[in-house]
Amino acid sequence: MNSTSVSTTHNATTDGTPGGAAAETAADERRRTVRAVLDTALAEGRTALTGPEGKAVADAYSIPTPAEGLAECADEAVALADRIGFPVAMKIVSPQILHKTDAGGVRIGLNSAAEVRSAFSAIVTNARAYDPEARILGVQIQQMVPAGTEVLVGTVTDPTFGKIVAFGLGGVLVEVLKDVTFRLAPTTRDDALSMLDGIRAADVLRGVRGSAGVDRDALAELVVTVSRLAADFPEIVEVDLNPVFASESGVMAADVRILLTDEQPAARRRYGREEILASMRRLMRPRSVTVIGASNEQGKIGNSVMRNLIDGGFPGEIHPVNPKADDILGRKAYKSVMDVPGEPDVAVFAIPAKFVAAALEEVGRKGIPNAVLIPSGFAETGEHELQAEIVAIAEEYGVRLLGPNIYGYYSTWQDLCATFCTPYDVKGGVALTSQSGGIGMAILGFARTTGTGVSAIVGLGNKSDLDEDDLLTWFGEDPHTECIAMHLEDLKDGRAFVAAARETVPKKPVVVLKAGRTAAGAKAAGSHTGALAGDDAVYDDVLRQAGVIRAPGLNEMLEYARALPVLPTPQGDNVVIITGAGGSGVLLSDAVVDNGLRLMEIPPDLDRAFRAFIPPFGAAGNPVDITGGEPPATYEATIRLGLEDPRVHALVLGYWHTIVTPPMVFAELTARVVAEFRERGVTKPVVASLAGDVEVEEACQYLFERGVVAYPYTTEKPVAALGAKYAWARAAGLL
């Protein structure tokens, strides 16, 4: 009897994870079982498992599938059905009979031994009549799949993030709606449960119209198990359980499909955390910088970099390298980097691409740990080999590369401007990075016009070596940096980024603008840096899982970066709107909901307290509408109340420009009251929308500089900034 053995152990829906050696052994054993199946398939040159192989893998990992077995006679059929439990389905098994139903070879819902016996005989008779030549191997006896909600559980291998587990509802409608959510594999039980809530149709799983919901624990367990299976075996590129029937009594996968690969991912040199911090420390806090290709000629990059280093006030050593000059901008020039005195921390390259490799070799021999490669002409122009060559040299010597194809970088607290742009000197808490030089210029202009306090601006360009995870690792430790904002088009190593983000997010917010969100955008990314833009749905879910705040656009990234270091962290969910303009109150309420915030239900005593300050026709509740004709005292009294009451966690102010309370009067009183409370240790985020004539612009700048995030002519931006702060506080586990 060449049958797959009937297993009934599959019904266990929990992994049963007892600690210690026993569990170790069980895990080892299941891996050995699957390993054997995979090796056989790959040895036979197959990358898709057969049905029985899929079933064997599922059984090994306790993935519930219908129990089944092959019966060669009616007695075996009855015995199998007895072991499986009624009702069962029965299907003819014959290599010649592909359309089993047409052949009268299928019976379902058989409830007794007698029915099974009679069905066996009928099926075999029908099959013989249908095709007298067919070789009949027997009749498959299969457990009936219990009714339930159709879901899909699967894994894919993403070029950026590797093994990803997917969950969604199954069926035609959901395929159309693409209502699926993703996490890195393996995933935890909590993450798996969050996936059940992460689809738009989540309520279906909880039960609607009085129907029972599904067994959430069993379903989450299945997601964890499948993610573990994919993670355990690099060669499993795809697992597809679709449909899985989920009901209040458990889950069962009706179909198991597993795809393999025999390709190995390329290795790259990896640096440990301490190595990263050591070289990054010297990059961001150098004592000595050398400029390869420094020049006296205006308009040359090597001239701009030299001037910016000098004009920016960098207090360390600056050593120009130029074989044809004795001095550059009054500094002694060296023929070769080998001649530069001391131990430079950074070599800035301002020479054409074709000369980079040779100079980099010297930088390596000199023991300089960081090469900042401004020149373009590498992978972004199709010169992949040239880029591979410099990467190989860098790996050989352990030199870290920034770029190539970048504008350079700023480290403001060191007064370091190693760029061909212009110096920037407003020191502050935000570190900004960009993959694109154009976006870097926008960062600089925005920062300058808004007076944003910056700790660093770094161009990443082609990311031949140093990338976002290295920078995250450093900025996470850098005491000057309170917030990190990154523009990126791809991630070279999504898992390393997630790991660095998870390390950093509990300490400080990380804002990401992921360009190439849309299909058109992704196509443009492909032609820009040769980056393979991942599927945005995967990026979105995985970045959220990593606790990153995703900015919807460039302007939002810049505004969040400006606002987040200014705002204190909220201590709870209760947001109160205090507004002098009812119309602003309505729009601010819209914005509160849009940004996932919660308008506080004002308790009666607090409502009475607010009412004491506002006209009888003003509206308490939330928004607190103090009405438009009120004097400064009304704004002040109500703001005080909001800051004073410990049940209120954040304030959104709506100011209306009137003769009675002019913009700067409002700004001064608000800044004063907020400062007074902060001195008393009451730190609540306060944001403001100022509706009025142009004087509100000055008032907003005044407020921003004093820790109140304020914007003119918009009700959305201040609330979006508050929303970003809340999103971070939640991701950091502070709420």
Residue 229 within binding range of a copy of itself, rule CB under 8 A:
no
User: Hey, what are 668's tokens?
Assistant: 């001064």
Window 230-289: residues binding a copy of itself (CB under 8 A)? none
Residue 81 within binding range of a copy of itself, rule CB under 8 A:
no
Q: In angstroms, rounded to a whole number, what is the distance separating the alpha carbons of residues 595 and 573?
A: 12
Output 564 or 599, the one with its CB closest to a copy of itself: 599
Nearest to 199 by CA among 175, 226, 167: 167
Give the shortest CB-49-to-a copy of itself separation in angstroms.
24
Q: In angstroms, rounded to a whole number, what is the distance separating the alpha carbons of residues 723 and 713?
A: 18
Coil, helix or strand at residue 626: coil
Q: In angstroms, rounded to a whole number, what is the distance separating the alpha carbons of residues 493 and 105?
A: 51
Residue 553 within binding range of a copy of itself, rule CB under 8 A:
yes
Output 108 or 694, the one with its CB closest to a copy of itself: 694
* 264: DSSP letter: P
Give the shortest CB-497-to-a copy of itself separation in angstroms.
18
Contact indicator for 253, 58 with CB cutoff of 8 Å: yes
Residue 692 within binding range of a copy of itself, rule CB under 8 A:
yes
Q: For a copy of itself, which stretch binds (CB under 8 A), given 137-145, 153-161, 260-268, 551-559?
A: 551-559
Task: Tell me the one-letter amino acid at 611.
Answer: R
Q: Which residues have C-beta within 8 Å of that of residue 251, sequence separation ≥ 6?
A: 13, 64, 148, 151, 214, 215, 218, 219, 222, 244, 245
Residue 656 within binding range of a copy of itself, rule CB under 8 A:
yes
Give the shortest CB-697-to-a copy of itself separation in angstroms.
7
Window 618-647: residues binding a copy of itself (CB under 8 A)? 619, 621, 623, 625, 628-629
Residue with tokens 């401007």: 417
* 707: DSSP letter: T
Residue with tokens 């032609």: 527
Residue with tokens 């309170």: 482
Residue 299 within binding range of a copy of itself, rule CB under 8 A:
yes
Q: For a copy of itself, which stretch binds (CB under 8 A), given 108-116, 226-234, 337-345, 517-525?
A: 517-525
Q: For a copy of itself, which stretch binds (CB under 8 A), given 127-135, 221-229, 314-322, 685-693?
A: 685-693
Backbone φ and ψ of 490, nearest 5°: -160, 175
Give the shortest CB-584-to-a copy of itself separation in angstroms.
5
Number of residues that bind a copy of itself (CB under 8 A): 104
Residue 523 within binding range of a copy of itself, rule CB under 8 A:
yes
Residue 542 within binding range of a copy of itself, rule CB under 8 A:
no
For 86, 101, 138, 253, the CA distances from 107, given in Å and listed in that order, are 13, 9, 14, 20
Contact indicator for 456, 427 with CB cutoff of 8 Å: no
Nearest to 627 by CA among 590, 583, 591, 663: 583
Window 463-492: residues binding a copy of itself (CB under 8 A)? 487, 489
Window 364-393: residues binding a copy of itself (CB under 8 A)? 376-377, 380-382
Q: For a copy of itself, which stretch binds (CB under 8 A), given 7-15, 56-64, 233-241, 435-443?
A: 435-443
- Binding residue (CB under 8 A) for a copy of itself from 71, 193, 421, 639: 421
Nearest to 355 by CA among 328, 331, 379, 373: 373
- Binding residue (CB under 8 A) for a copy of itself from 112, 211, 249, 336: 211
Give the shortest CB-612-to-a copy of itself separation in angstroms.
18
DSSP 3-state percent helix, strand, coil across the chain (nearest 5): 40, 20, 35
Residue 439 within binding range of a copy of itself, rule CB under 8 A:
yes
Q: Which residues have C-beta within 8 Å of that of residue 681, sequence separation ≥ 6?
A: none
Q: In angstroms, rounded to a whole number, what is the distance separating the alpha carbons of residues 342 and 288?
A: 8
148-177 mask for a copy of itself (x: CB under 8 A)?
A: ---------------------x--xxxxxx
CA angle (266 as vertex; 263, 269 as ends), nearest 5: 155
- Binding residue (CB under 8 A) for a copy of itself from 287, 528, 640, 730: 528
Residue 29 within binding range of a copy of itself, rule CB under 8 A:
no
Residue 333 within binding range of a copy of itself, rule CB under 8 A:
no
Give the shortest CB-337-to-a copy of itself separation in angstroms.
25
Q: For a copy of itself, which stretch binds (CB under 8 A), given 118-126, 242-250, 464-472, 714-722?
A: 714-722
